[in-house]
Structure 1
Amino acid sequence: MLFKRRSPKQFRERGCRREEVTSIDDTCTNNNQTTWTYNQGVILSGLALLYNATHNSTLISIAQKIADATIQRLTYSNGILKEPCEPTCDDDQKLFKGIFVRHLAYLLFYLTDTFHIQKYTTFLQQNAVSVWTMNRCELDGLFGLVWNNDSCNSCESSRDSATTSAGLDLFIAVASIKQQAAVSSNWKLLGQGNCIDDQNFTMPNFYRNEVNETVCRMTASADSGAIAYDYQLNCVGIGFCRIRTLSSRSQTPSGWTYENGIAHNVTRTDKMVLTNCFLRTNST
C-alpha cells in the first residue's frame, strides 16, 4: 500500500494499490474518502525512524507538515482533536485519535526544531487536560468519544473500552514526552503548577480570564519585565493566564488586570496538575 498526499493540506489517505497508480511519476491520486486521524498518525513514527536511519531531514519536514495539517484541520476551534465521524463512530473509529497522539509522541523524540517541539507538546497537554476535566465519567472512570465536551465529567453513552483506550493513549503520550521537549526559545517548562517565587511571597501579576494560551504567551513575551507565566484551562473550557512580572501598574496590557505584590525570582511551582509554569530563560 502507498500513502498518498492530499495536496496542499498534506493529509494521508488509507492508500492505493500499486495497480491503481497511473501517472508517469507513480504517484497516487486523491480518492476523496474520509481523512481519519490514525492515517495521519501511523506515518509520523515511520518517517521519524527512517530519518533516524538515513539522517535525511526532508523526512522530518514531511512528518511535521502532516502533523501541522492534522492540528489545523482535524480539531475543534479550541484545538482539541476531532474524528470526522464524531459524535457517532464505530468501534474501530473510536480508537483512531489514540493512535494519532501515540505516534505524534513518537515523532517528538526525533525533533530538534524547538517551535514544533513546543507546538506538539502543548497540543498533547491541552488535549489531556480537556479529556481529564471534561470527558471522564466519575461514575465509572471511563472516557468518552468526544474529547471536547461542553460539561465537566461527561458520562456520554458512547463511552466504552475503545474510547477509554484512546484516552489512555493520550495520557501515555503526554507522560512519555521528555521534560526538555517543552523548551522554546524564550520559555522553559519549570513544572506543573502555578509559578511560585523563591520566598513564596505574592508577586506582581498581570492576569486575565477567557484567554487562550497563545495570547497568554505572546503577552508574556511582549512584557520585558515578565519573569514567568502560568496558563490554566478549567473544566468548562475557560482559559486563565497569570504573568509574573516586574513591570508597574502603568504597563498593564489592555484587557488585563494588575495585581500588586513583591517580586522575587521564580524557583518552583505548587504542583497543581492542571497548570503549567513557564519560566523565562533569560530571567535572573
Structure 2
Amino acid sequence: MSMSRRTKHVLMSLTLTLAVIAGLQPTAYAGPPGGRPDDSADIAAATDVARARVASEVLLDSYDPEKAWFPSSWWNSAVALQTLGDYMLRTGDRSYVDELDHSFETNKGPFPAGERSTDEIYGNFTSRAIDDAGWWALNWVTAYDLTREQKYLDMAETIGEFMLGFWDPSTCGGGIWWNEERTYKNAVTNGQWVRLTAELHNRIPGDTAWLDRSLEAWDWYQASGMINDDGLVNDGLTDDCASNGDTVWTYNQGLAIGAPLELYRATGDADLLAESRRLADAALDSPLVVDGVLTESCDALDRSCDDNQKQFKGIFMRYLMDLADTTGDDRYRTFAAAQAETVWANDRDSSERLGQRWAGGTSAEHPNVFDWRTQASALSALIADVPQDAPGRSLSATMTPDQLAVLPSPGARSAVRTAVEVAATSDHRRPTRVDVRVEAPRGWAVRPARSHVVLRTTGDGTPARATVPLDVTIPAGTPDGSYPLTVTVTSRPGLTWTTRATVQVASVVDFDAGSTQEVAWLWDAGGSGLSQAGSRFADGTSRFVYRFPFPAETTAAEATLTVDNQYVVALSGDGEDWTVVLEEDEEIRDGSNRADHTLDLTPYLGDDKAVYVRVTDAFPADGWGGGVYHVTATYTTP
C-alpha cells in the first residue's frame, strides 16, 4: 500500500519515540530569553500556526507522489501547491519544499490530453487554457520566493512569454484571451496577467519590459468595464466588449485586489494601493460576505460548487492577506481572523478536513463537501490569520489513523492500534518536553493513557516530531456507533492542543463514497478522487483500497459495491497479493453500466480475517476509471 505523509511520519519516528518514552529523563524547561512566551497573544498566534500546520498535513495526504500533483485537477493542483508555498513562507516550516520541486521536475514536460488535463499539456505547464498556465506561473514565483532557486523564476517567465502571445489589442483594445481559440476575454486571466507581470518585474533585476506590460494591462483592465459601479468584478466581457454582468466570483475579486497591489510595489504609485483597498472594501461590504463569512454564491444550501469553484475563496484570502500585510489595516486582519475561526469551529470534520462552506451548514441534496480542493481553499484562510512575524513556538498533534473501524467479535473484547504524532517548534535549540494525555469512553482501556516526549527542536519553523503508539481495548458488547478518543498535549509555558480519533464500531459495513463514514474503511486512497456524481474513482495508475477487519471467528463474508465506468475490482487477504474478481471490458465513460455487484469475500479471509478490496482503471489511458458509489459488507460467525 502507499502511505499518507502523516503515516510515513509515524513509521519514521516510531523507534525514536519509543526510545524517548523509555529512556530520556524529563528536561527542566528553560524559556527563551526575554519576552513573555505565555502571553495570551503569543499563545493565540502559536495556535494559528498549529492550525495551519495540521491543515497542511491533511492536504498533503491527498498528494499523489507518482504524478506529483493532486489527483485529476491540473490548475487546481497549481493553486494547492502555491497554498503550501504560502504556508511555508508564512511560518518558516520547510516541510514541503521537496513536493514543490518534485512537482516541477515531474510535470514540466508535455503530456497528451487526458493525462494531466482534458487538454494536451504542451510543456512548461502550458496548454490551450491560458488561465491554467497563469496559475502555474504564479505558483512558481512563490516557489522562487521560498527557495531562491532560479529555475522557478525562469519557468514563470517562460509561462509569461507564452501568455504574452495571447495579448490582443485588435479585440476590445487589449487584454489576454482566456483560451487558445480566442473566444473570451475575462477577469481571471487578465487579473493573473497584471499580477504575474508585476511579480516578474519585481524579481528580475533591471527589467523594464515586464513593468511596461503590467502597466499597460492594468490600464486596460481598469477601463474594460469588468469592474462594476459597486467595485465588484464581473466575470468577463461580451463579444461587443461590454461587461457581461456575470457572477462576481471571489477569486476574480481577489486577483483584482492583488494585481494593483503588486504593481504598487513596482512603482510606488499610491493610487494603485488605494485601488487595491477600494476593491477589498467593496468586497467586504458586498453580498460576498454573509453574516461576516466569505461566501461563494454556490455555497447556498440549495446549490453545490463545482471542482473549480471549491478553490475560489482561498485565492481571495491569499491576496487579502497580502493587502493586510502591506497596509497593516485592522479591518483586513480582523476579517481574516474571523474567517479562520469560523472555518475551524464550523467547517472541520473529525478527520481535520476542511469543507466548502466556511460557515458550516449542509443539506441532503447539496451536502457540504470535504476534499483536497476545499482543504486548500480553507487552508488559505488559516494562513491569512498567522501573524506576519510568526511566533517561534508552536505545538500540535494529530492521530494516525484518525478513523478506525472495528467489526467486533460476539462476546469478546476488540483491540485497535493508533498513534498520536506530536509536532513542536521553538525559537531555541533546547529540548521541548510535551505531556500527552488520552481520554477514552468509560470502560475502554488505552495504553499508555499518559506519557511524555522530549522533542529536539532546531530553533526554526520546521517542527520536530515524535510519535506515541496507542493500544486501545474495546469492551465486549459495545453497541454500534462512533466513539471518540481525545488526546491533549501540553508544553510549558501555556501551549496546549487537542486532537481526536474516532473508533467506528459496526456490526455491518455500510457507507457512501466520500462520506465521513467511508474514511474508517479506506485503507489506501492511492491517488483516487471524488466525482461530482458522488463516486470515488481511480483514473490511470491511481487506485483505492478498502479494508474490512472481520472478527476472528468469521466463517464467511460478502460485500456489495455499486460501481460504474471502467472498473477493475480485486480482492486480497493481505493487501499484497491480488485476485481480479470483477472487470469492465468496454470503454464506458457515461456511467451507463452503474450497477450493484456482490462479491464473495470468504476465500480471501486472511490470517487476521481482514479482506482488502481494490479498485483500479481497466483502461488507464483514457481517464474514465472505475467509480464506487456505495459499499456494504456482512459476515457470518458460528
Q: Does 1:103 align with 2:324?
A: no
Shift of 1:150: 5.3
Q: Can you list the C-alpha shifts for 1:165-214, whole angstroms capped at 9, x where unaligned?
A: 111111122225358xxxxxxxxxxxxxxxxxxxxxxxxxxxxxxxxxxx
The answer as to whether partners of 1:52 and 1:110 remain within 8 angstroms in 2 is no
* Aligned position for 2:265: 52
Gaps of 5+ in 1: 22-28, 180-268, 274-284
Q: Does 1:92 align with 2:281?
A: no
Q: Does 1:64 align with 2:280?
A: no
Residues 136 and 56 (structure 1 numbering): CA distance in 2 closer, same or farther, change over 3 Å?
same
Q: Does 1:81 align with 2:302?
A: no
Whole-Å Cα distance in 2 between the matches of residues 73 and 59 of structure 1?
A: 21
* Aligned position for 1:208: none
Whole-Å Cα distance in 2 between the matches of residues 48 and 148 of structure 1?
A: 28
Which of 319, 331, 339 is residue 127 of structure 1 equivalent to? Answer: 339
Q: Can you list the C-alpha shifts for 1:106-148, whole angstroms capped at 9, x where unaligned?
A: 222322xx5xx1000000000100000111001x221111111
Shift of 1:271: 7.1
Whole-Å Cα distance in 2 between the matches of residues 61 and 120 of structure 1?
A: 14
SS of 1:31's equivalent in the other structure is: coil
One-letter identity of the residue aligned with 1:169: S
* Aligned position for 2:360: 149
* Aligned position for 1:158: 369
The answer as to whether partners of 1:74 and 1:83 remain within 8 angstroms in 2 is no
The answer as to whether partners of 2:231 and 2:278 remain within 8 angstroms in 1 is yes
Shift of 1:43: 2.4
Whole-Å Cα distance in 2 between the matches of residues 178 and 68 of structure 1?
A: 25
One-letter identity of the residue aligned with 1:146: R
Q: Does 1:169 align with 2:385?
A: no
Higher relative contact order (CA 8 A, sep 6+): 1
Residues 20 and 272 (structure 1 numbering): CA distance in 2 closer, same or farther, change over 3 Å?
farther
The answer as to whether partners of 2:236 and 2:243 remain within 8 angstroms in 1 is no
Gaps of 5+ in 2: 1-174, 176-189, 191-220, 391-492, 498-638
Whole-Å Cα distance in 1 between the matches of residues 380 and 338 of structure 2?
A: 14
SS of 1:103's equivalent in the other structure is: helix
Which of 213, 229, 233 is residue 12 of structure 1 equivalent to? Answer: 233
Whole-Å Cα distance in 2 between the matches of residues 177 and 74 of structure 1?
A: 28
SS of 1:142's equivalent in the other structure is: coil
TM-score (structure 1 length as normaliser): 0.53
The answer as to whether partners of 1:105 and 1:177 remain within 8 angstroms in 2 is no
The answer as to whether partners of 1:96 and 1:166 remain within 8 angstroms in 2 is yes
Count residues in correspondence. 167
Whole-Å Cα distance in 2 between the matches of residues 16 and 144 of structure 1?
A: 32
Whole-Å Cα distance in 2 between the matches of residues 45 and 91 of structure 1?
A: 23
SS of 1:169's equivalent in the other structure is: helix
One-letter identity of the residue aligned with 1:137: D
Alignment of 1:198-277 (within 5 A): none
The answer as to whether partners of 1:105 and 1:176 remain within 8 angstroms in 2 is no
The answer as to whether partners of 1:143 and 1:164 remain within 8 angstroms in 2 is yes
One-letter identity of the residue aligned with 1:131: V
Residues 177 and 84 (structure 1 numbering): CA distance in 2 closer, same or farther, change over 3 Å?
farther
Q: Can you list the C-alpha shifts for 1:203-226, whole angstroms capped at 9, x where unaligned?
A: xxxxxxxxxxxxxxxxxxxxxxxx
Superposition RMSD in Å: 2.7
SS of 2:294's equivalent in the other structure is: coil
One-letter identity of the residue aligned with 1:34: T
Bigger proportion of residues as strand: 2
The answer as to whether partners of 1:108 and 1:177 remain within 8 angstroms in 2 is no
One-letter identity of the residue aligned with 1:13: N
Residues 51 and 165 (structure 1 numbering): CA distance in 2 closer, same or farther, change over 3 Å?
same
Q: Does 1:136 align with 2:348?
A: yes
